Amino acid sequence: MQKIFPSFTIIGEETHAEGKYPSENVIFIDPIDGTTNFVHGVPFVALSVGVITDTETKYGVVYNPVLDELYSAETGKGSFCNGLPIKVSETSSLINSLISTGFPYKKDNLPYLMKVLEEVLKTSRGIRRAGAASLDLCYTARGIYDLYYETRLQPWDMAGGLIIVREAGGIVTKLDGRYHDMDSDSLIASNGLLHREFLNLLNEIR
């Protein structure tokens, strides 16, 4: 693949080296997002690809081969599932929202995560945990989830889905509300209407 894209750095879960990632001309690839799901036969698994140029994700593709769902986006051209346009939901309050999250392999931050989980359960219709960050982002872009948050992610988990959410009309930020890019391992992705309310909830917990 490096021969086909000689000017790009290609980084994948199985091939990455520790250290700071380049900020442009990067292709992030996760060949199996949702590895535990794959091993156990849970159908939420995906191939995720994100192409970054000029510090921004330019293209994103996420494909679930089990459900045959292909999500794609290009800057300024919208988001699609199997070729059909998708948009984020119009839910405007957390109490009416369906929220997705995930849990990191390292459990050192578990008390805080459980505190957030408790508050989210109190202030939403419910929480789902699919086990594949790329698909959580795509389901948010599609309006199935109203908001998705998670910590301790890797760039290849997020790169493909970030632009799919944004091109579907959503917002993706860090947990403190700042613009999200590849230097953060945590994120909030939402339809935009719920973002401020969720940030306020997090601020009350800290």
- Out of 9, 10, 32, 144, pick the active-site residue: 32
- Out of 11, 27, 29, 30, pick the active-site residue: 30
- Out of 29, 157, 163, 167, pick the active-site residue: 157
Q: Is 131 helix (H, G, I), strand (E, B) or coil?
A: coil
Our answer to whether residue 176 is catalytic in this structure is no
- Out of 33, 136, 146, 150, pick the active-site residue: 33
Our answer to whether residue 136 is catalytic in this structure is no
For residue 156, CA distances in Å to 55, 96, 204 come to 15, 31, 30
Our answer to whether residue 33 is catalytic in this structure is yes
Distance between CA 144 and CA 86 in Å, rounded?
A: 10
197 phi, psi to nearest 5 deg: -65, -40
56 phi, psi to nearest 5 deg: -120, 145
- Out of 9, 35, 53, 75, pick the active-site residue: 35
Residue 137 in tokens:
């982002």
Our answer to whether residue 53 is catalytic in this structure is no
* Contacts of residue 34, Cβ cutoff 8 Å, sequence gap at least 6: 42, 44, 45, 46, 130, 131, 132, 134, 135
Our answer to whether residue 10 is catalytic in this structure is no
Catalytic residues: 13, 30, 32-33, 35, 157
